[in-house]
Amino acid sequence: MEMLGAVLELAKIILAPIRDCCNYHRHVDEHMINLRDRWQDLNGQKSDIESRMRAQLRPGKTPKLEVTAWIQHVERMNNEIQAIESEAEEVKCFLRARIGKHALKKKLEADELYQRGGAFTVSLVVDPPVSNGEEFPTTKLIGKSTTERVKEEILAYVLGNGVGKIGVYGMGGIGKSTIMEHINNHLLKDKKNFDSVIWVTMSKSSNVLELQNAIAHKLALDLAKSEYKRERAAKIKEELEKRKSMC
């Protein structure tokens, strides 16, 4: 009896691959149809996701890495399925089992990719890292020089409550820009009083729209579809409030 049982087990081991091979051969056409259907679904899903991603890409935003990797997997899957299609057209009758096996395996992989793509239901992009400003390389102000005293005076006004606008004027080359760069760097470190510090350079002939564009650029904010000053100002304010809540 033990010998008979061993023979039966051996027969199962030997016959199982043969049985699978026959099933692949018999159902090759069905496997290919199922694979083509899922292939079409997968590429339709890919087109929809790429369209959504393009619509969400704004200045400074980047695609999520998992979305980019998924698209690359789908493109690689396309190449592999095309290879199976080409092989199916040329293969001899006795090799149909191999085509059926490959088609079924690739159909299961495509099912998994399709399910993963279905999980991308919210944002497909990520916002740029929030920066509260840019620090400038500056030379050290020594002792109580005139430049240092002027810097301290301006800082006192900036940190006070009674002044909302400060103008610094004087002849060219006396250090106005240097003073303001030091103040910019100082305010960047003052997280208690300032959420963001925005540095823009404007010419004398600049107008409000150009100033708004310069500020929007620093905020990675797109104002291209906003024509009116008040609307643009509202969007800038909204972006600043958003950054404040993230700090």
Bridge pairing between strands 62-63 and 125-126: antiparallel
Tens-digit pLDDT profile for residues 193-234: 887 888 888 888 888 889 888 888 888 788 888 888 899 899
Mean pLDDT of the chain: 79
Most confident among 42-51, 121-130, 173-182 (mean pLDDT)? 42-51
What is the distance between the alpha carbons of residues 48 and 36, in angstroms, rounded to a whole number? 19
Q: Answer whether residue 22 shows pLDDT above 60.
A: no
- Cβ atoms < 10 Å from Cβ of 44: 12
Strand runs labelled E in 73-202: 125-126
Of residues 9 and 147, the one with the higher pLDDT is: 147
Tell me: pLDDT of 48 over 90. Answer: yes
- DSSP characters for 81-95? HHHHHHHHHH--GGG
Asked whether residue 12 carries a pLDDT value surpassing 60, the answer given is no
Contacts of 39-47 spanning 24+ positions with Cβ under 8 A: 39/77, 39/78, 39/81, 39/110, 41/114, 42/74, 42/77, 42/110, 42/113, 42/114, 42/117, 43/74, 43/78, 45/114, 45/117, 45/118, 46/71, 46/74, 46/117
143-200: pLDDT as tens digits: 567 778 888 888 888 888 777 888 888 787 777 888 888 888 888 888 778 878 888 8
Its pTM stands at 0.51
Cα separation, 132 vs 246, whole angstroms: 10
pLDDT value at position 8? 43
Give the model's confidence band at 40: pLDDT under 50 very low, under 70 low, under 90 confident, else very high: very high
